[in-house]
A and B are shown apart, each in its own frame.
Chain A
Amino acid sequence: MPIKTESFYLNVGPQHPSTHGVFRLRLSLDGEVVTDVEPIVGYLHRGIEKLAETRTYTQIIPLTDRLDYLASMTDNVAYCVAVEKLAGIKVPERAEYIRIIFSELMRISSHMMAVGFYLNDCGAFFTPVLYMWREREKIIDLFDMVCGQRLLYNYMRVGGVSQDLPDEFMPALKKFVDEMPRYIGEYNQLIKQNEIFLARSKGVGILPRETAINIGASGPVLRASGVKWDLRKMDPYSLYDRFDFDICTGEVGDCYDRYWVRMQEMTQSLRIIEQAMKQMPDKGPVCADVPQFFRPPAGEAYGYIEAPKGNLGFYIVSDGSIAPYRLHIFPPTLINITALRDMVIGWKVADLIIIFGSMDVVLGEIDR
């Protein structure tokens, strides 16, 4: 005889240690089993799209920093790519290489945070995060060297970057690139074979390939489901067609695959950085000649890049004035959580937390 049970509602968030920001999940629970989930966003909404309408094109760059604040360098790049597309500005070669190096460093850093906090959600009391932070600190030091900022860099400019690399940067970067594979090996040693970790993440929260495409997922979430789709390869922007690297994909699309895709992407990013360091011209302008208050021709452009969390795009409409007529940000993580409901139904509360953690959301980007 089935026992008659009553389901109850549980609000996870807006203040909760594992929602990675001010995010709310309204759960329907049957005991510990999740029967329904509704993500409620908007607690961090700052109206960046509206703010941008009253700012010049250069003044918007600091706003983009505040989107995905764990990867603000790539947000800068995405915005600049879009404006350059709109205004038809050609970026100097050296600046392109600097952008690529920083995008890839940012990707490593962002993936480290993702993996570290994912393990924290699994219940490993902050140790993985702090180990990841040890290396992330070195990346941040590199950023600090060029732009004096550690979180919100505001380094990219329309047409290039704000300033050339200091002399001590390249040796420091070389040292980092040489050391990093050893640390990635160490992380894999520590995490990959852990029985409890495998039991918690293998087969949990499977996102099938067809669903992943249909919901428009992107980034590691899409690739973990076995879709070989990376804008750096499929639609190379900047100079990505000059580099040799692999698209890392998972097999089943569970939490473990999403973790493993991120770990592999770190190695691939290092490969790209190594090649970029070799190919980069030693001298040359780092920014195109763009006036401070420039007026792009009336029209529209959609610029997009492969950010650490997925396909980040900016849709800009210009009316020929110094401020954009309309700026729309396409946030990869908001689209990724469309699949949350499919993934968590029938799993336990503990699984919900790690499935959500494995999607690597940043609320600055979801709410904008």
Chain B
Amino acid sequence: MTLLDQFQLILKSQNWPDWAVYLVPALVGIIIIISVVLTVVIVYIWWERRLISRFQIRLGPNRCGPEGIFQPIATAVKILLKEDIVPEKADKLIHFIAPITVFVPILLIFAVVPFGEGAILADLNVGIVYVIAISSISVIGIFMAAWASGNKYSFISGMRSIAQMVSYEIPVVLSIVGIALVVGSFSMLKIVEAQNIPFILLQPLGFLIFFLGSLAEMNRSPFDLLEADSEIVAGYHIEYSGMKFAMFYLGEYGVALAYAGIITTLFLSGWQGPLLPPVIWFLIKVMMVFSVIVWIRSTLPRFRVDQLTAFAWKFMLPLAVINLVLIAIEVLVIPANLQWTMVLINFGFAAVLILLWSKLFTLGGGRVEV
């Protein structure tokens, strides 16, 4: 029974008309989710800028409000006031639709992210499949933006985006299947409830694959080839400014927030935790995941495009398949009350496999004869 269902029951008991019983709670939920998400995204932008500047032995924005907390708002105002420039040779319509196509699916993901016990907009029984399906739509938006800009840099970026997304979706999905095998359901709520032991301990290899894969899906360093500022300047959003650019910018952080939420839900036992209220636990865990993402961004150089795909197909895909088979066997053989033995076995396997693969596999090709 989610909060939304309870709300509907209350309205029904007040003898509201049927359509209102269905519509009002949904609208209220959507408004709450969107406002929470946008607020958290703004906090995230501030948090990333402050944190990354600490990694880079500098202070970061600290003038605008206490500890610079209002800096993202100032940035947002600046971006909104900027002139909206559309290149003359751009495909105007697609250039206009693309930011929306990128931004809207990211908001849609939050419909199935459980913020607390029952605090979920739609408890779909295929929740995680829905996430995978919806998040792939953003790729089309990115490609639309890249193509419609009529810029060669963004064109390269669009080509990279397709290669990257197609490659990384497969290991990500395979690592999710491992979880579904243990839980026996695709529902986000059920997945959280099943985690007496967080799945990061139960499936360390699956976590690693999902985490790296989602880094690639959200175009974060070291997989940020789409917007590689040192190579193709800003990639697909090179020809965007003003509000349209803000959509990409918010979308970028929104997707980071969404994936941090999904990682928390799938692997870090979601809202569960002692003492503090569930929502706080959820946000703390999300913040931790996001901080690790920022840490990686400030530390690692970028992959090359062939190394990126090689990493997906030669490293992550085989490991994901092995992980899946392993989990399937364990689910069959090991009884549910002996999950701690599973933890030990899986950690051992993860260590051995990663060691083995790091010796066996080479990153990408080298020079091409032309």
How far, in whole Å, are A196 and B303 apart by their CA atoms in the complex? 7
Establish whether residues A199 and B57, one from each chain, have CB atoms under 8 Å apart when the complex forms. no
Partner of B232, one of A8, A33, A124, A349: A349
Tell yes or no: A80 within 8 A of B by CB: no
Task: Tell me if B89 is interfacial: C-beta within 8 Å of chain A.
Answer: no
Q: In the complex, how many residues of chain B place their beta carbon closer than 8 angstroms to a beta carbon of chain A? A: 38
Expressed in whole angstroms, the minimum distance between the Cβ of A10 and any Cβ of chain B is: 5
Contact, CB under 8 Å: A124 / B370 = no
Given contacts A17-B230, A130-B58, contact A32 B301 (CB under 8 A): no
Q: Are A346 and B152 in contact (CB under 8 A)?
A: no
- In the complex where A347-B367, A350-B305 touch, is A123 in contact with B224 (Cβ < 8 A)? yes
In the complex, B304 has a CB within 8 A of chain A: yes
Instruction: Check if A131 is an interface residue, CB within 8 A of chain B.
Output: yes
- Which chain B residue has the least Cβ–Cβ distance from A197? B301
Asked whether A121 and B230 contact (CB < 8 A) given A127-B55, A130-B56, the answer is: yes
Interface flag for A348 (CB, 8 Å): yes
Comparing B34-42, B98-106, B292-300, the segment that makes contact with chain A is B292-300
A242 at the interface (CB under 8 A from B): no
Q: Which chain A residues (23-40) contact chain B, with CB distance < 8 Å?
A: 29-35
The answer to whether the Cβ of A351 comes within 8 Å of any Cβ in the partner chain is yes
Number of interchain pairs (Cβ within 8 Å): 98
B308 to chain A, nearest CB (A): 10
Partner of A17, one of B55, B229, B301: B229
A238 at the interface (CB under 8 A from B): no
CB contacts (< 8 Å) of B221 on chain A: these are: 123, 125
Q: Which of B298, B299, B304, B366 has the most CB of A within 10 A?
A: B304
Contact with B along A92-124 (1 / 0, CB 8 A): 000000000000000000000000000111111
Interface: A353 (CB within 8 A): yes
Does residue B222 face the partner (Cβ distance < 8 Å to A)? yes
Cα separation A8 to B364 with both chains bound (whole Å): 24
Contact yes or no, A348 B304, CB < 8 A: yes
Q: A348 to B299, alpha carbons, bound, how many Å?
A: 23
A16 to B151, CA, bound (A): 14
Closest residue of chain B to A8 (Cβ to Cβ) is: B152
Interface digits, A182-210 against B, CB 8 Å rule (1 contact, 0 not)?
00000000000010110110011000000
| Cβ-defined contact, A349 with B231, below 8 A | yes
- A8 to B307 Cα, complex, angstroms: 23
- Which residue of the partner chain B has the closest CB to A203? B366
Known: A130-B56, A194-B301. A18 touches B306 (CB 8 A): no
Check if A351 sits within 8 Å of B304, measured CB to CB. yes
- Asked whether B367 lies within 8 Å of A346 as measured between CB atoms, the reply is yes
Instruction: Find out whether the CB atom of B230 lies under 8 angstroms from the CB atom of A120.
Output: yes
Complex formed: what's the CA distance from A346 to B156 in Å?
17
| A interface residue numbers (CB < 8 A to B) | 8, 10, 16-18, 29-35, 119-127, 130-131, 134, 194, 196-197, 199-200, 203-204, 345-351, 353
